[in-house]
Amino acid sequence: MFSLAFGVATKNSHGDWLEVYYPRPLINPDQAFVSMISSVLGYSQGNRVIEVNDEMTVKLSEIAEMEYLAVLRESVKPIVATLLEKDSSPKTVPEAYLKLHLLSHRLVHPNEVNLEGLFGVLPNVAWTDIGAIDPEELDLVQLNARINGRIVEVSSVDKFPKMTNYVVPSGVRIAHSARVRLGAYLGEGTTVMHEGFVNFNAGAMGPNMVEGRISQGVTIGSGTDIGGSASTAGTLSGGGNTLITIGQECLISANAGTGIPLGDRCTIEAGLYITPGTLVQVMDERKKNIAVVKARDLAGHSDMLFLRNSQTGVVECRSNKKAIELNKMLHTNK
């Protein structure tokens, strides 16, 4: 068994899934435990989504490690059990949400689970202060609220909710919760400032300072700082198939960015964006030209300092003498 979880779900008026909240998802659970669960649910094999009835909930709540299910017995919303025998592409909304939860619960790292076809599975949802609503049903909900003297606050209309409505990982600070999507991975000690953004299936291993954008598929190593308005090229919307990883103790300075992977202790100066085709003049220790290469030829190397010569405009790569060091006080997020 790859993963299993019990959650509280939301459906629209037609009975279609909108979202699922899984408080305690499991990865690679013990087979004896899976057998106990399966006997109650009538599960045999494969990837399955099972709506849990009252009788099942009572029996499950009596099983060791499942006591929290007793709380769900009073739920007015559907209770769902999602069992994934294999890590195949998600076919249903509950399967997709389980995989996003696994990422944000730090049970898997970005790019470790199969998310192929995710956008086609997830419905567009109006995220409101009273929960998830089908956009086609929103006007009636708003009208009923107005009649009763209140306003439904719509924070976004999107396929992905904000992570903090589902998972709040330990030891993190998030200044603006709407800028971190469910499915983001935030390691211990990570700080995401007001303009920082972390997409699904992307993340910071922690501790990290994130003041710029970590795009889908991108991971940054511990001690790395993504400066204000800096960005990383993801694999969505024409971003290509190369997964961008940034190593430890790197600095992507304000308004800078990278479209190539970087090793450890690399720095890109403020305002400079390195694309795979950027021509880079490689310098030796005495700042003499060694060669002119495309940036993709430097991908994954460590101890690089990228800057633009203020006199010639040429992009240069020099040896990075000193790695950055994050302020430990800022990243002890207790």
Cite the active site residues: 211
CB burial readout 239-260, b (16+ within 10 A) else e: beeeebbbbbbbbbbebbbbbb
Residue 185 to residue 229: CA distance in whole angstroms: 20
Count Cβ atoms below 10 Å from residue 18 Cβ, excluding itself.
21
Q: Where is 174: in which H helix or E strand?
A: strand 173-174
**Run of H or E including 99:** helix 93-104
Separation between Cα atoms, residue 78 and residue 3, nearest integer Å: 20
Q: How far is CA 288 from CA 253, 298, 313, 318, in A?
A: 24, 18, 16, 10
Q: Evaluate whether 47 touches 85 at the Cβ level (below 8 Å).
A: yes
Apex 65 CA angle, 16 and 104, nearest 5: 55
CB 22 within 8 A of CB 5: yes
Q: Which two tokens stand for residue 26?
A: 């499991």
271-282: burial string, b at 16+ Cβ within 10 Å, e else: ebbbebebebbb
Give the other-Cβ count within 10 Å of 192's Cβ.
Answer: 26
Maximum distance among all alpha carbons in the chain?
A: 76
Angle (CA) 3 8 9, round 5°: 100
Report the distance separating Cα 224 and Cα 204, nearest Å. 8
